Structure 1
Amino acid sequence: MSIWRSYPRSLKVLLLAMLVNSTGMAFLWPLHTIYITQGMGKTLSEAGFVMMLHSAAEIIGSFLGGYLYDRIRGKRTLLLAVLSSACFIFIISIGLSWPVYILMMILLGLGIGTIFPPIYALAGSIWKEGGRKSFNLIYLVLNFGVAIGTALGGIVAQFSFQYVFWVNGFTYLLFIFIVWRALDEPDPVYEAAQKKALDPRPKKEFRPLQSFYSLLILCLGFMFCWVTYIQWQTSISTYIHLLGFPLSSYSALWTINGLLILLGQPLLQWFMDRVKSPVKWQLLSGVIFFILTFALLSQNQSYGGFVTGMVIMTIGEILIFPAVPAIADRLAPLDRRGMYQGLVSGAANVGRTIGPLLGGLLFDGFGPLVLLYSCIFICGFALICFGTYQRLQYIQKEVSTVKVNK
């Protein structure tokens, strides 16, 4: 409890709003496909096409959210994004014809994608001295909300899909109320002074451009990680079913994932802080855990192997997913923080969009083993990106030093 009191008030408000938002979103996102196939009578391929359009709109929304943050600040961007998402959800809940439903799902993806860049940008600006802690807390609260929402969403859906939409819309309205009434956004002038006090070293003229290049390499690695991680929700679920394991066994894997994140993330982060591990090595360690997961699954078809694989993958997830937005915040100039976080969210959305398609093609065309080996290969690219994303800055610093000496 004393730790909670040490957090800035605005961070507590942001965490509460994020908990409400992630809980409401988790009510709905696992049930979209079921609603399309069972509630609207469409085929699975049609459902997949709509979800692909929805994910593509989230990618655009990520860039839009970053752009708006840099123009109109975070609080206004959040209110605009969440209010529009609430409107689209309530419109969907009344029952729509198929073409209008597709349009609303695209607009909903645009609104949802706009939410996350300002969330992470605000997390960095509200508590600069907290470093990675604010991003770790956002990640923890996000997964806690997902655990609650997915557990309750299925229960509510048994009565009516319309109730699921209403609950999701209500959580958006509650999110708006919390942000509007309680969230205090730092003034840009104060924020600049605070950042300078925490990092008083003079900045070179080259730094923004080189930081941007470093961010692009970092985001590319992040995208590769998501391409492989999303296989657990798509191709690997099919693989588990083909091996004869029931759906409840697959659901139990995600229960393990949620419990490990909630219980293990604070402990693992405490350990990383104690050993003062550089964030770069945290990323590299996370990718190695990803590689170990797919290597294990390629050699083991028992359910115990999948349980062990999920445990290993979750450790890698804890190391990577909160660290990337934290690095982006550190790299970002004050007037580009939204854009940097938009690129990070966009990279994740790109991975979530192309991952299921790539995994499905490999699984159907060559079998599960080729898919698993391909995931190891893709993780190798992530390893290269995370190992080299800082190198451009180091090289440019050396060049700059030479020029100054001359």
Structure 2
Amino acid sequence: MRKGLHTMTILKNYPKEALFFIIASFINSMGSALMWPLTTLYVHNVLHRSYGDAGFVLLLQSLAGIIGQIVGGSMFHKLGVKKLIVGSLILTSIAQVSIIFISSWTIYMATLTFLGFLMSITMPAINAFIGFHWKEKTRELFNVVYVSNNVGMAIGSTLSGILATISFHLIFLFNGLTTFGFALFFLFLLNKVTLKDTQIYSLGQQSQQVMQTPKELLFDYKMYLFIGLGSLFVWFSTSQWSSGIAPYLDEQGFSMARYSFLWTINGIVIFAGQPITSFLNRTIIKSLSSRLVASALFYAIAFVFMVFFHHYYLDFIIGMIIATIGEMLIAPTIPAFITERTGLAAPFYLGVVGGFGSFGRLLGPYIFGNMYDYYGVIPILTLAAITSSIAVLLFLIHASYHKEGLEQLTS
């Protein structure tokens, strides 16, 4: 009872529209999580293609995602937040439902590539919207949205394994409907945005900062380069879950539901483990930069553990728990750092850094998928451990340019 009252007290600290946004984002993430964990298995088991082919289509999707992130960040002020977010979400929902009617491998690849572009357009735009519209609660909201989204993903991932045993078409349909609902929510919300907010979102080019050319913004490499490269190596390493662990469990005779349950564990840890990360943030890693270093350390520890222990299903559960702590630190920290440090140029930098992360997701499935076809799971886990360790070094360089981050980590 007290826990419920405490939760209600926390929620009352946010504006009603922020609470509605959290709920809408939760539903959308639940729908999205139905499809992505099972893409590799859908390609192999339904379309009857190799794991390497599955990695290739995910590579194309991530390549389109890089372009989408950059386009979304660059067009935020020029096109306007309403047209950018609502328009891309509606097109995304149409593409998601259309997969039901696709049997051609070529058309399927083209559709997933287009989906990668559309979904990535909204990422920097939505993060920038949070940073601009609820500026006084940016850090808190990024974390709350992250947690609620992952609870939705955990539920969606669990349902995906169940629905997949009935029909993959149910997954694509529900995914499209939740995305369309998210588009309608944003349309309703943005129609209520004040004139002042609209000017900030759509006429930001009046600011001298936004008037800078992309080349001029990119010249400030200390703001984005090492945080971007670090995220690239982190997200590359995490691709082993879908392109290494998924086929490994499948070949070991585990059902799709057992693989999906790993993502349920992920969601449970994200929700229940908030006191752990809150304690770390208050005591050991107080700055945003130091949290990035710590996140990569947790990923490295998780993947090193699984290099030596991967013969039992419990080993992957333990690995997922450790890696999830790293995810809890990095996911809300990157958008918080960029929106706090770059002002009205935040959409552009969010797109650039997001592009780095998408490039990691691009390389991961293709490399890991082909590695699994020829060498099995151990080399994949080893490479994931190495790349996440490289991310530790890159985030340390980033922290050195933002002294408070390095001092908090070493004090």
With normalisation by structure 2, the TM-score equals 0.81
Q: CA deviation at 1:116?
A: 1.3
Q: How is 1:4-403 mapped onto 2 (pairs within 5 angstroms)?
A: 4-95=11-102, 97-183=104-190, 184-185=192-193, 187=196, 211-239=220-248, 244=252, 246-247=254-255, 250-264=259-273, 266-275=274-283, 277-303=286-312, 304-334=314-344, 336-360=345-369, 368-392=377-401
**Structure 1 Cα separation of the partners of residues 223 and 341 of structure 2:** 8
Q: How many Å separate the matches in 2 of 1:189 and 1:172? A: 24
Q: TM-score, with normalisation over the residues of structure 1? A: 0.82
The 1:366–1:260 alpha-carbon spacing in structure 2 relative to 1, beyond 3 Å, is same
Relative to structure 1, the CA distance from residue 370 to residue 108 in structure 2 (aligned partners, 3 Å threshold; closer, same or farther) is: closer
Larger radius of gyration: 1
- The letter of the residue matching 1:27 is L
CA shift digits 1:279-334 (9 cap, x unpaired) = 22212122221222222223334534433222211111111122112112122231
Provide the rounded CA distance (Å) in 1 between the counterparts of 2:151 and 2:113.
Answer: 27
Is the CA contact (8 Å cut-off) linking 2:266 and 2:320 kept in structure 1? yes
Number of residues paired by the alignment? 377
Per mean C-alpha deviation after superposition, the further-off stretch among 250-259 and 309-318 is 250-259
Tell me the distance in 1 between the aligned counterparts of 2:91 and 2:369.
33
Flag structure 1 segments of 5+ consecutive residues without an equivalent: 193-206, 395-406
Percentage of pairs with the same residue: 31
1:200: which partner in 2? none
Q: Label 1:11 to 1:72 Cα distance change in 2 as closer, same or farther (>3 A).
A: farther
**Alignment gaps of 5+ in structure 2:** 1-7, 202-215, 404-411
Instruction: Report how far residue 223 of structure 1 moved.
Output: 0.8
RMSD of Structure 2 on Structure 1 (CA): 3.0
Identify the residue that residue 404 of structure 1 maps to in structure 2: none
Instruction: Tell whether the 8 Å contact from 2:154 to 2:265 is kept in structure 1 after alignment.
Output: no
Q: Which amino acid aligns with 2:383?
A: S
State whether residues 218 and 386 of structure 1, in contact with CA within 8 Å, keep that contact through their aligned partners in structure 2: yes
